[in-house]
Amino acid sequence: MPKLTRDDLYSLEKYAQVRNDFRAQVIEHKKNRRLALGEHAALYFEDALTMQYQIQEMLRIERIFEAEGIQQELDVYNPLIPDGSNWKATFMMEYPDVDQRREALARLVGVERKVWMQVEGFDPITPISNEDLERSTPDKTASVHFMRFELTRAMVAAVKAGAVISAGIDHPAYSVMVKPIPDNIRATLAADLTIPA
């Protein structure tokens, strides 16, 4: 999947004009990119459009219009766009109540290493998490983690051929399996992959 460049972005003025329509487009797009893992966890699979939205919003909020500042935002968010042989996701532990969330995050230390995805016929894939910085301490984990699931060529080919995809979490304090993942999300994830030439 190609990385974003400055040419892919709206100017601040243009973004102000199209923001409502663009936001609605992204919300609709994300419906096929959120995989619930039980009641309190979800994987949000990223792509060029979700990252464009993040960048546009950051440029808008920070009023960034100079080339250097725009490039810095591109450098931050482009690594979250999948490369054709992987899935990249924002993993979130979702507890609306602040006290409940605090207690859960203390029990869920290491959860980012216990998330998995599996292509039918292959071993589960655990993610490479938080490549930019550590988001856990010995006492608690963060509610947000960034994950990269690397697939082999054979896994990519199997997904493209229709293999079932499953996902889950194997943590003592939170265990869940989704098998198979919903068809709409499976189709999205298959489209994110490219069979190597």
pLDDT digits (tens, 9 = 90+) for 6-52: 999 999 999 999 999 999 999 999 999 999 999 999 999 999 999 99
- When divided into structural domains, the chain yields a total of 1
pTM, entire model: 0.90
User: For residue 131, what pLDDT band results from cuts at 50, 70 and 90?
Assistant: low
Instruction: Give residue-wise pLDDT tens across range 58-110.
Output: 999 999 899 899 999 999 889 999 999 999 999 999 999 999 999 999 999 99
Split at pLDDT 50, 70, 90, the class of 138 is: confident
In a domain, residue 107? The reply is yes
Q: Is residue 23 part of a domain?
A: no
Q: Where in the sequence is the domain holding 137, given as residue range(s)?
A: 96-197
Tell me if 100 is assigned to some domain: yes
Is 143 within a domain? yes
Question: Three-state SS string across the chain, please?
Answer: CCCCCHHHCCCHHHHHHHHHHHHHHHHHHHCCCEEECCCCEEEEECCHHHHHHHHHHHHHHHCCCCHHHHHHHHHHHHHHCCCCCEEEEEEEECCCCHHHHHHHHHHCCCHHHCEEEEECCCCCECCEECCCCCCECCCCECCEEEEEEECCHHHHHHHHCCCCEEEEEEECCEEEEECCCCHHHHHHHHHCCCCCC
- Is residue 22 a part of any domain in this protein? no
137 band by pLDDT with thresholds 50, 70 and 90: low
The verdict on residue 41 lying in a domain is: no
The pLDDT tens digits for 158-174 are: 999 999 999 999 999 99
Is 153 contained in some domain?
Answer: yes
Per-residue confidence at 130, pLDDT binned at 50, 70, 90? confident
